[in-house]
Amino acid sequence: MYVDLQVEIGVNAKVPLTLRNPVMVASGTFGYGTEYARLIDIQRLGAIVCKGITVRPRRGNRGPRIVETPGGMLNAIGLQNVGIRRLVDEKAPLWVQWDVPVIVNIAGDTVDEFASMAGQLDGVPGVAGIELNISCPNVWEGGRVIGEDAATTAAITEAVRARTGLPVLVKLSPEVADICGVARAAEEAGADAVSLINTLVGMKIDTRTGRPVLANVTGGLSGPAIRPVAVWLVYAVSQVVGIPVVGMGGIASIEDVLEFILAGATAVQVGTATFAEPRTALDIIDQLPDAVCARGRASVHELRGLAHSGRDR
């Protein structure tokens, strides 16, 4: 039986984005896409979200930068990246030749930086969309994130929207007082989708030395440990916005993807699980048609949000 896996993001954008399937790989867990190409068939992915990029290249934080924790890991990479100029000059020309769409994750210090990077990416062949990293926990003073309030989120989104016709996804932090308010602000300011969740701030202490393991002291928690938080926030946000919700946070199996779709996600991103098993996203894509079928549906859309009370079963 044929099962429709296709997903649209940015139906109102100048350049809408059609994904062959709803399973993307998350920013920071797939480099610039080239690295895993040696190991798996990356062209079958729904989309690739590349490593967060900044206006200037960054060297990142001192090590140790990562440590495993129960059901996941902490990372404090510090946005090490090649800078937007080299991304446009060296990476985008490779992506043009690919079937799989590449979404560029951008991280600015200010509204102007976000807008300027969006302008630089607009019209670049090989760039299929932009994800706004308004929520990286590792590079802001005192652990503050720029996207913690609705007003800043709206300002960034609006400024980016004015500079690009590409689909714009706004990636949300779970560590805000009112994530639904932030999501609505993004939608009203012209976002084509919201993606959530980014990592949660945490730390691990080495009891032998008495010191934090990470040189940065804190890091972003990812992996299956954060999945219930992510499922809940996707469930909540998808009830207050009309744009697609892209769900992520600890996805490692087809079961996990179904949970996010039932919670209201239109698409998902596999992140940390790729480190443990590089084939995770592809395995999920292979299993998705049968999983949809087994629940008596002909498309993933028909499963979306069924967990919400009062929905037609």
Partner 1 sequence: MKLFTAFVLDNEEIMRATNVLTLRAGQVARSASPGQFLHIRCDDGCAPFLRRPMSVYRTERDTIQLMIRDVGAGSARLVRARSGDPLDCLGPLGRGFHLDSHARNVLMVGGGYGVAPLVGLAERAVHQGMSVTLAVGAASAELIFPPSLLPEEVEYLVATDDGSAGHRGYVTDLVGERLAWADAVYACGPLPMMAALARVVRDAAPRKRVQVAMEERMGCAMGVCLGCVIETTRGPLRVCTEGPVFDIRQIVWRDEPAALGTGG
Binding site for partner 1 (CB under 8 A): 28-31, 35-36, 38-39, 51, 59-60, 62-68, 70-73, 75, 77, 80, 206-211, 223-225, 272, 274-279
Q: Which lies closer to partner 1 via its Cβ, residue 67 or residue 94?
A: 67
Q: Which lies closer to partner 1 via its Cβ, residue 15 or residue 67?
A: 67
Q: Sign of dihedral through CA atoms 251, 50, 134, 161?
A: negative
Q: Which lies closer to partner 1 via its Cβ, residue 14 or residue 62?
A: 62
H-helix segments, 134-267: 150-163, 179-188, 227-237, 254-263
Query: From the CB of 68, what's the least distance to partner 1, in Å?
Result: 5
H or E segment to which residue 67 belongs: strand 66-69
Q: Which of 122, 146, 127 lies closest to 136 in space, CA to CA?
A: 146
Q: Which residues are catalytic?
A: 136
Of the CA atoms within 13 Å of residue 126, those in its CB half-sphere come to 17
Query: From the CB of 231, what's the least distance to partner 1, in Å?
Result: 17
> How many whole angstroms separate alpha carbon 111 and alpha carbon 146?
10
Query: From the CB of 202, what's the least distance to partner 1, in Å?
Result: 15
Q: Which lies closer to partner 1 via its Cβ, residue 266 or residue 269?
A: 269
Query: From the CB of 289, what's the least distance to partner 1, in Å?
Result: 23
User: Quick one: how many helices (H) and strands (E) in the chain?
Assistant: 9, 16
Bridge partner list, 53: 106
Query: From the CB of 208, what's the least distance to partner 1, in Å?
Result: 5
H-helix segments, 122-199: 150-163, 179-188
Q: Which lies closer to partner 1 via its Cβ, residue 15 or residue 82?
A: 82
Q: 83 near 136, Cβ under 8 Å?
A: no
